[in-house]
Structures are given as structure tokens and as C-alpha cells.
């Protein structure tokens, strides 16, 4: 019976994709406004959060218009306030998820890598809203530890819990299942639904017809079109730092094809909800946990080791009542701000003392965000974004605790101190740390205030951390 219901919803989504065949035509006569619904006049609040794993902002249509990677998300952004520079605390999914849910930075909630156990001891958006009587849904294809607490309805499509053919199949199964649940929900009960999709995460599989559209010329290099991340050829290119331009174009087209496929899936999901009359008064939030480096700075394509902007800076959007449309907020936001923002949009609030703050006032006015945004990589690295600049302290130097560096004598290259002008150098090729700069000094002060404002681990262990010693002693 379960499989039958999923098949029915899959057919509905297929029909929605068919309706999207003219999605770029503003005069399309199949506009859903012509469809009659029996939507009740009064519905309890619906907050819908959609997040996509490892979605690099550089590959959204607004940043990559020649490839048209995200027409459905672009349409959503046009009806939203967009935050194009939300800083993830690290390129690890669980770290970002817990930071978002709790409004706390890693050194406050204690999760610093995906392998860490999350016990739900810090109250989160899910647990708080559930306690207030909300019907909560957590549907995820990755790091399902994040949905172990505070959800009334849980589904995990991950090899640890459910075998699926591939990532797109898992994302489709999950999306169809949540759609079925939402269409049948009791609209008199407030609902918070979180959908987390896996693609375009590695292993990087080309999806047609999108790959051929983005890369019409034949690729003659050594990197395969499927399961790219398992290729020994890719590992060699990373370790030898010799990713060629044709290699990079091939990788980017594969990644873009996955983005475009996920965009179509999200578009069909939202269209189905719209035609059911469920989005008229809903708050729809879209975001990502982190991005991928994709060889933009070094030959490293992944995210776990990276502290580059392409990994840490992700796009979020908010649409709903009293939220401005078609606005792109200037400034940097912290991932920890997303939890308090979600709580205020739900008519509630986070407990006092959290690291993050609600950005709802900015969503309502369009005023820029002028405060710094911070990130951490384990207990050894911390950095800050503000204005057009990024500053980083990394006392141990190069970092090797992720693949493929773990099995070699090489490491991901990170200088002890890094300072970049992102306006002139968006891919962080030219480290300006040796230059005299009042901006660098200002960012150093701001970062050290962040580093020293509370305990990172224990007082005894903190006394051994070089990162803290730099900030409590002489400036680098």
C-alpha cells in the first residue's frame, strides 16, 4: 500500500514537470491560478524549509545565467528576499545543520564534524516548535542525525537507513513522500516541514540532457562522467594540484547538470503545493548547508577541508507575509542567524543567549546587514567575513584530515594567516596577509573578540589551543 501511494504522488510530480515544459514562457496558459481548489479560507501557519546539500552559489542561475541551471529557484528568488552571502560555520553538513537549527555556533553546540554525535541537548527549531504544538516534519537524504529530535514525521533516505539506486532517486522518493504527507495534513494545525535534498553532492554523476547542454564539446580527459569522486584519476589530480581547464569544465558541467535536475524536482514540488492552494499563506524558505570548492581556488573539488568562499558562502531566500519581494540583501549573515529567523517567522522566538539573531527586520525593510559573519574549522581555524574582505587564522597551517589527503603526505593548503579582498579576488588566489592594512587589523580584532568571548572546549584544553594564544597574545 505504501508503494502504491508513493507511485500516485510520483505520477502527480511527473504531471507537474510536464506542466513546466513552458516554464520560461511568461504567457504560458497553464498557469496554476486557473485551477480551482477547495482550500479553506483560514489555514494554520505553514513554514516550509527546503535545503539542498552542497549547493555552490556560483552555480545558481543568477550567478551563472549562460547555463540556466536554476529557473525554478530563480522564480522563487524573484518572489523572495534573498540572502546571497550566508556563511556556513564549516563545510560539513551536520555542523551547519545543527548551527542552523539551534542558532548556536559550533563552539557553543559542540558539533565540529559530521562524525560527531548529536544528542539534541540544545533546543532547536524543531524541538521548540514541536513543544508549542506544531506538526513537524523532517525529511532528509543526508546527516539524518539532525532530524532525530523534535519531529512528528521523519523520513531518512540514506544508505545507513534505506538503500536507493542513486542520489536523484533518493531525492525523488523523499520529495514525493513529503508531498503526499503535506497534501493530507490537517490544515488546522500549524506545520513546519523541512526537506533536505542530497544532489548535487559528490560522487558527481552527469545527468542528461543537462550535461550535454552545458558541455556540448567532447571531453577527452581522464575523468569519468559518473562516480567521479571515486576516480583514482581525480585523486591524483587533487594531490598533484594539476586540474586542467578541460578537467574543470567537465567537472563544472557535471555539477551544473545535478543542480539543474534538483531545480526541476523542487519546481515540481512547489508547483504541486501551489496548485493545492497550500502556498498562498505559507512561508517558504530555501537554503543550503554549504557549497563545494570545485577547483575554483585549488584543484580540490570537495568541501570538508576547504575554507574558501565557494564552500562557506551559500544562498538563502525567504518568502511570505510581510517579506519584501525581489530584494537581495547586502552584507554577510551567519548560519546561526537562520534558526532565530525561522522561529520569528513562525511567530515564536529562540531562547535568550543564542549566538544567532533574527534577520526578520531586514527581510521586512531590505536594510543591509552590517555585522561580521564567522566560521570555524575544528578548534584550529577561525575566520571572519565583513565588507569585501575575509580574514582567517589557522596556526597549524595546512590541513589534512579529509580525503584524499588522509592517505598521503600532502595537505589542503591553508596559510597560517590569510587576508583576501574578495571584490578583486573572489576565488582567493592572492593572500594579502603580509601587507599593512587597517582593514586587516579591524578584522583581526573582530575575529579575536569572537574567538575569546567564550570557552571553545574546556578551560584546560583551551589553554593549549594556538588559535586562542594568538588572540590573547601578540597579533600575527
Neighbours of 233 (CB within 10 A): 13
73-108 residue pLDDT tens: 999 999 999 999 999 999 999 999 999 999 999 999
pLDDT at 11 over 70: no
Residue among 61, 51, 46, 48 nearest 335 (CA)? 51
* Matching residue, cell 565540529: 112
Which pLDDT score, from 0 to 100, does residue 334 have?
A: 98
Which pLDDT score, from 0 to 100, does residue 160 have?
A: 83
Report residue 13's pLDDT band, with 50, 70 and 90 as the boundaries. Answer: low
Q: Where are the alpha helices (DSSP H) in 301-437?
A: 309-312, 338-345, 360-365
The helix-helix angle for 2-19 and 167-183 (nearest 10°) equals 100
CA pseudo-torsion sign 179, 272, 201, 258:
positive
158-192 residue pLDDT tens: 888 888 888 999 999 999 999 999 999 999 999 99
Full DSSP string of 275-305: HTT-SSS-EEEEEES----TTSSSS--SSSS
Q: What is the 3-state secondary structure (H, E, C) of 208-235?
A: CCHHHHHCCCCCCCCCCCCCHHHCHHHH
343-389 residue pLDDT tens: 999 999 999 999 999 999 999 999 999 999 999 999 999 999 999 99
Which pLDDT score, from 0 to 100, does residue 14 have?
A: 52
pLDDT at 435 over 90: yes
Euclidean distance between CA atoms 410 and 73, whole angstroms: 39
219-233 residue pLDDT tens: 999 999 999 988 899
Which pLDDT score, from 0 to 100, does residue 17 have?
A: 43
CA pseudo-torsion sign 237, 239, 242, 245:
positive
Examine residue 43 and say whether the peptide bond preceding it is cis (omega within 30 degrees of 0).
no
Which pLDDT score, from 0 to 100, does residue 256 have?
A: 96
Q: In what order do the strands lie in the sheet with 381-386?
A: 373-377, 381-386, 389-393, 417-421
Which pLDDT score, from 0 to 100, does residue 16 have?
A: 41
The angle subtended at Cα 260 by Cα 259 and Cα 266, nearest 5°, is 90
Residue 51 dihedral angles phi and psi, to the nearest 5°: -125, 145
Which pLDDT score, from 0 to 100, does residue 403 have?
A: 83
pLDDT at 425 over 70: yes
Residue 60 dihedral angles phi and psi, to the nearest 5°: -80, 155
289-344 residue pLDDT tens: 999 999 999 899 999 999 999 999 999 999 999 999 999 999 999 999 999 999 99
Euclidean distance between CA atoms 358 and 361, whole angstroms: 8
14-51 residue pLDDT tens: 544 443 333 333 333 333 333 344 444 578 999 999 99
Euclidean distance between CA atoms 289 and 338, whole angstroms: 11
pLDDT at 8 over 80: no
Which pLDDT score, from 0 to 100, does residue 354 have?
A: 96
pLDDT at 9 over 90: no
118-137 residue pLDDT tens: 899 999 999 999 999 999 99
Own/partner pairs, 131-134, CB within 8 angstroms, 24+ separation: 132/348, 133/189, 133/190, 134/189, 134/190, 134/191, 134/192, 134/346
The x, y and z cell numbers of residue 339, run together, are 534558526
Euclidean distance between CA atoms 389 and 426, whole angstroms: 10
Rounded to two decimals, the pTM is 0.90
The x, y and z cell numbers of residue 302, run together, are 570537495
Which pLDDT score, from 0 to 100, does residue 381 have?
A: 93
Beta strands in 104-236 (DSSP E): 135-140, 153-156, 191-197
Euclidean distance between CA atoms 286 and 195, whole angstroms: 10
The angle subtended at Cα 22 by Cα 323 and Cα 200, nearest 5°, is 65
Q: Of 476 and 143, which is predicted with more confidence?
A: 143
Residue 419 dihedral angles phi and psi, to the nearest 5°: -145, 120
Amino acid at each position: 500500500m505504501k508503494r502504491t501511494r508513493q507511485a500516485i504522488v510520483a505520477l502527480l510530480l511527473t504531471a507537474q514537470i510536464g506542466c513546466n515544459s513552458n516554464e520560461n514562457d511568461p504567457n504560458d496558459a497553464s498557469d496554476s491560478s486557473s485551477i480551482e481548489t477547495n482550500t479553506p479560507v483560514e489555514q494554520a501557519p505553514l513554514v516550509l524549509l527546503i535545503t539542498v546539500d552542497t549547493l555552490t552559489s556560483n552555480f545558481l542561475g543568477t550567478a551563472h545565467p549562460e547555463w540556466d541551471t536554476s529557473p525554478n529557484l530563480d522564480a522563487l528568488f524573484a518572489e523572495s528576499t534573498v540572502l546571497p552571502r550566508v556563511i556556513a560555520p564549516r563545510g560539513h553538513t551536520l555542523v551547519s545543520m545543527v548551527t542552523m537549527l539551534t542558532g548556536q555556533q559550533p563552539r557553543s553546540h559542540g558539533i565540529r564534524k559530521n562524525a560527531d554525535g548529536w544528542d539534541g541537548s540544545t533546543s532547536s527549531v524543531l524541538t521548540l516548535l514541536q513543544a508549542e504544538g506544531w506538526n513537524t516534519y523532517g525529511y532528509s537524504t543526508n546527516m539524518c542525525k539532525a532530524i532525530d529530535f523534535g519531529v512528528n514525521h521523519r523520513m531518512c533516505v540514506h544508505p545507513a537507513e534505506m538503500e536507493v539506486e542513486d542520489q536523484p532517486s533518493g531525492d525523488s522518493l523523499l520529495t514525493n513522500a513529503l508531498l503526499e504527507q503535506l497534501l493530507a495534513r490537517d490544515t488546522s494545525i500549524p506545520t513546519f516541514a523541512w526537506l533536505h535534498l542530497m544532489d548535487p553532492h559528490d560522487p558527481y554523476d552527469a545527468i542528461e540532457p543537462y550535461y550535454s547542454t552545458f558541455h556540448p564539446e567532447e571531453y577527452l580527459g581522464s575523468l569519468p562522467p559518473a562516480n567521479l569522486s571515486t576516480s583514482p584519476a581525480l585523486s591524483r589530480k587533487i594531490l598533484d594540484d594539476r586540474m586542467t581547464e578541460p578537467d574543470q569544465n567537465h567537472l563544472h558541467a557535471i555539477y551544473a547538470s545535478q543542480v539543474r535536475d534538483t531545480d526541476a524536482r523542487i519546481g515540481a514540488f512547489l508547483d504541486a503545493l501551489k496548485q493545492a492552494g497550500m502556498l498562498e499563506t505559507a512561508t517558504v524558505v530555501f537554503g543550503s548547508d554549504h557549497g563545494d570548492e570545485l577547483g575554483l581556488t585549488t584543484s580540490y573539488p570537495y568541501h570538508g577541508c576547504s575554507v574558501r568562499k565557494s564552500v562557506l558562502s551559500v544562498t538563502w531566500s525567504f518568502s511570505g507575509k510581510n517579506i519584501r519581494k525581489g530584494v537581495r540583501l547586502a552584507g554577510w549573515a551567519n548560519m546561526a542567524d537562520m534558526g532565530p529567523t525561522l522561529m520569528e517567522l513562525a511567530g515564536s522566538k529562540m531562547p535568550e543567549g543564542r549566538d544567532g539573531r533574527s534577520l526578520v527586520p531586514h527581510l521586512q525593510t531590505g536594510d543591509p546587514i552590517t555585522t561580521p559573519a564567522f566560521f570555524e574549522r575544528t578548534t584550529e581555524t577561525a575566520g571572519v567575513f565583513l565588507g569585501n574582505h575575509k580574514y582567517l587564522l589557522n596556526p597549524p597551517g595546512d590541513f589534512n584530515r579529509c580525503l584524499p589527503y588522509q592517505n598521503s603526505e600532502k595537505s589542503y593548503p591553508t596559510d597560517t594567516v590569510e587576508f583576501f579582498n574578495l571584490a578583486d579576488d573572489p576565488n582567493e588566489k592572492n593572500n594579502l596577509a603580509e601587507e599593512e592594512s587597517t582593514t586587516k587589523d579591524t578584522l583581526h580584532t573582530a575575529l579575536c573578540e569572537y574567538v575569546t568571548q567564550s570557552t571553545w572546549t574546556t578551560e584546560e584544553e583551551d589553554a593549549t589551543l594556538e588559535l586562542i594564544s594568538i588572540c590573547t597574545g601578540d597579533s600575527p
